Structure 1
Amino acid sequence: MWMDDPELIEVLGQMANACVVITKQQARKYQQSEFGLLEALAERTGIAQRAYPELEELAPRVDGQASVVGPFSTLPDDEGEIGGVRELGFRRVGNRLVPIVHAKMLLLGRMGWTDEHPSGHVVDTLYFVPERLWVGSANFTQASRKSLEMGMWTADPELLKAARGWLLQLVEMSEPLRSPSDDSQPELVPVEYDDAAIAEYMSERDFDFLFGDGLNDDADPC
């Protein structure tokens, strides 16, 4: 899928959280003026990774390897933001046919924030609530405005849930624009936990300090 509709791109750029996943483009596309609109959109907006639990344990590779999380590190999604336009899949080179992102879907919703947790602890949580889903044949190009297309909006809860999961899988498998690889090379991969180091650290710490308020060293042990 390709996107070059300037009106749509302008609207997406006004959103605080937005991400579009397109098929990995052929090199010639990068030379077109319309591609500059996509690069500008990728810089102007994106999605806060911590607002999506499905993405919270993903991080860019470090020296080609999965990022390692230990007792003194945090999940990288705390401050992470995924760019507003991403590429996915394989680049067509010559006559080699490749699978493409052919689905045309748009999921709208609202962002929320809370400091409340069921445990009673104060937290700092962003979240996304899907509200409307658009599916159709129009492919978000200028040409599609001149074609006979179909599209529909739905607020069906099951479809919203399914679309959210599927679209976030595309985000997970995606890459930044202008990926140098012709093959699929997802930027984000699951982190690896240094279980041995974490277990050693926890064995040296007081249980109350870890799970209590951590302020009263004179408190009676459980």
Structure 2
Amino acid sequence: MDDPELIDVLGRMANVCVVVTKQPQGKYTRPGLEMLTKLAQESGLAQAAYPELAELAPRQDGRPLVVGPGSSSWVDKVDIGGVREIGFRRVGNRLVPIVHAKIMLLGRMGWTDEHPSGDVVDQLFFVPEKLWIGSANFTKSSRSSLEMGMWTEDRELMAAARDWLLTLVGLSEPLGSGPDDLDPELLPVEYDDAAIFESMRDERWELFMMTIPTSSSDERTGQFAR
């Protein structure tokens, strides 16, 4: 991906992530790819805007993140890099599966402080608006080739593309940093069930203590002790 006009436009977007097939080691240090590496470093995807990625977190010391009582929300803090790799790096003449589809999903970012439960929240969300599907591979040379492409606003196609693209994001790795094999940076979190159960048991006991009547009038009216 070395089309300078396309990369420039992507760099001006507030929320962007491009997933490409894993390339040979050292390729991104070659002349002409500086804009792509800059996009990877300076742009990103706000993970909090995508519920599909909510159970994923960067690994800790090579292991999945363990979540328990008092754990802060990692999702609100994570920006996934603007350009990512996925798959297997070709070594020698070994053929490997590649991400061959060329699609782009555009939309707008929104924010709300209203939760369906009535609680006040701080929530980002993404609304798909247009899907581009074509044969051009986002390189300079594709501009001089005979290519096809189309925009669509079909809701079912956009929903399917969103699921597929976010699956790729979830399996991806930072640009140019991973091993030759598939090695996702984001892993499903692990929950400390024992600690969570203990915390819930303590909270239930506190709630029970709060609901014990303090007088006969409280007992009759069913009011909570405060």
TM-score by length of 2: 0.89
Residue identity (%): 66
Among 182, 186, 190, which residue is 1:188 paired with?
186
Task: Map Cα deviations across residues 14-63 of structure 1 (whole Å, 9 max, x no partner).
Answer: 00000000010112412312222111001221110000000011011111
Alignment gaps of 5+ in structure 1: 210-218
Task: Map Cα deviations across residues 124-148 of structure 1 (whole Å, 9 max, x no partner).
Answer: 1000000100000000000000000
The one-letter code sitting in structure 2 at the alignment partner of 1:203 is R
1:58·1:76 contact (CA, 8 Å) conserved in 2?
no
Residue matched to 2:131: 133
Q: Is 1:220 matched with 2:218?
A: no
Cα separation, 1, equivalents of 2:53 and 2:21: 20
Aligned length, in residue pairs: 210
1:88·1:184 contact (CA, 8 Å) conserved in 2?
yes
1:48·1:80 contact (CA, 8 Å) conserved in 2?
yes
Residue matched to 2:12: 14
**SS of 2:170's equivalent?**
helix
**SS of 2:23's equivalent?**
coil
Alignment gaps of 5+ in structure 2: 208-222
Residue matched to 2:53: 55
For 1:23-34, list aligned pairs within 5 A.
23-34=21-32
Consecutive aligned runs of 4 or more in structure 1 exceeding 2 Å deviation: 206-209
The one-letter code sitting in structure 1 at the alignment partner of 2:3 is D
Cα separation, 2, equivalents of 1:35 and 1:132: 27
Cα separation, 2, equivalents of 1:34 and 1:20: 18
Residue matched to 1:152: 150
State the Cα RMSD in Å.
1.4
The one-letter code sitting in structure 2 at the alignment partner of 1:64 is G
Structure showing greater radius of gyration is: 2
Residue matched to 1:212: none
Residue matched to 2:93: 95
**Segment of structure 1 superposing worse, 48-57 or 175-184:** 175-184
Cα separation, 2, equivalents of 1:207 and 1:94: 63
2:28·2:37 contact (CA, 8 Å) conserved in 1?
no
**SS of 1:27's equivalent?**
coil
TM-score by length of 1: 0.91
1:58·1:189 contact (CA, 8 Å) conserved in 2?
yes
Cα separation, 1, equivalents of 2:178 and 2:98: 17
